[in-house]
């Protein structure tokens, strides 16, 4: 009986020690993430005005928000609608390289269908090099989440200050549009089927590069790696013109 009690005490002690260790590791990761975000904000401020060969360039941040209607699902079709709106508006004209960063949301981002969509985007814009990067774990701590938090805060503040609920997408668009460097638009969600064969093991990779002409997607272990370690071969991709 005494031996069982001692074993239980030992297991409890080990469990508490393991929990403490994990919490300390998580705190280190979060602190490093916060330092990186602060550094990115500082660098972004420095880049707002540049002088190159006596030509002054002004770089402005532009945070785009896409708003659906009540009942719309924020799945890969929603993501496709946002990309189609951006590409149709020629937002990427004269840009040579686009590096996408997003969280690894398993509902609409880090999934096979969204990577298949990435191939569609690459094939319709062969003059642009597209890279898709994923933040690590701890959802809610990325720069993207910070931008979304600003928009959400503006909606909450508006309802509190005006004592009037925001119930429509147009009301949300007007409110978010009042923020500096922010704009919001309605989104047309396509009915196109983006299903594809499953890309097994996709969650362990954090950077993807689509081939410019073939149905090949290269996967990298980290966003710093230069050499891919896996190739995915999606079924025939969706033509951009067919996304409706």
**pLDDT bucket at 157, cuts 50 / 70 / 90:** very high
Backbone angles phi, psi at 38, to 5 degrees: -65, -40
Q: What is the structure's pLDDT at 50?
A: 47
Q: What is the structure's pLDDT at 105?
A: 78
Q: What is the structure's pLDDT at 131?
A: 96
Comparison of pLDDT for 56 and 181, the residue scoring more: 181
- Using a pLDDT cut of 70, give the percent of the chain over it: 78
In 3-state terms, the chain is what percent helix, strand and coil (to 5)? 45, 15, 40
Q: What is the structure's pLDDT at 119?
A: 92
Average pLDDT over residues 108-136: 91
Average pLDDT over residues 111-138: 90
For the chain, give the mean pLDDT. Answer: 82
Average pLDDT over residues 139-148: 76
The sign of the torsion formed by the CA atoms of 121, 123, 129, 130 equals: positive
What are the pLDDT digits (tens) for 77-104? 999 999 999 988 877 888 899 999 988 8
What are the pLDDT digits (tens) for 4-63? 667 777 777 887 777 777 667 766 666 666 666 666 665 555 555 545 555 554 557 789
| Cβ contact 85:185 at 8 Å | yes
Q: What is the structure's pLDDT at 38?
A: 64
Domain ranges of the chain: 2-52, 62-142+188-242
Nearest to 144, CA basis, from 26, 152, 68: 152
Q: What is the CA radius of gyration of the chain?
A: 22
Comparison of pLDDT for 236 and 214, the residue scoring more: 214
Per-residue CA distances from 129 to 124, 230, 236 (Å): 11, 19, 20
> What spatial distance separates the first Cα and last Cα of the chain, rounded to whole Å?
70
- Using a pLDDT cut of 90, give the percent of the chain over it: 42
**pLDDT bucket at 1, cuts 50 / 70 / 90:** low
Backbone angles phi, psi at 166, to 5 degrees: -95, 115
Comparison of pLDDT for 7 and 172, the residue scoring more: 172
Cα separation, 66 vs 184, in Å, equals: 6
Cα separation, 174 vs 152, in Å, equals: 13
């Amino acid at each position: 009986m005494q031996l069982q009690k001692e074993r239980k005490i030992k297991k409890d002690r080990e469990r508490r020690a393991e929990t403490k260790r994990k919490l300390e590791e998580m705190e280190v990761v979060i602190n490093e993430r916060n330092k990186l975000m602060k550094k990115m904000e500082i660098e972004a401020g420095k880049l707002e005005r540049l002088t190159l060969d006596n030509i002054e360039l002004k770089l402005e941040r532009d945070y785009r928000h896409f708003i659906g209607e009540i009942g719309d699902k924020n799945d890969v079709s929603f993501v496709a609608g946002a990309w189609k709106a951006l590409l149709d508006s020629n937002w990427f004209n004269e840009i040579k390289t686009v590096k996408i960063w997003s969280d690894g949301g398993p509902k609409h981002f880090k999934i096979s269908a969204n990577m298949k969509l990435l191939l569609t985007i690459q094939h319709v814009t062969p003059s642009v090099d597209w890279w898709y990067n994923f933040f690590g774990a701890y959802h809610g701590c990325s720069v993207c989440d910070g931008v979304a938090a600003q928009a959400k805060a503006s909606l909450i503040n508006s309802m509190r200050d005006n004592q009037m609920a925001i119930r429509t997408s147009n009301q949300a668009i007007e409110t978010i549009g009042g923020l500096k460097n922010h704009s919001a638009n309605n989104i047309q969600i396509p009915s196109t089927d983006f299903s594809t064969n499953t890309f097994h093991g996709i969650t362990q990779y954090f950077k993807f590069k689509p081939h410019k002409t073939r149905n090949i997607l290269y996967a990298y272990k980290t966003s710093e790696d230069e050499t891919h370690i896996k190739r995915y071969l999606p079924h025939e991709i969706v033509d951009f013109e067919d996304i409706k």
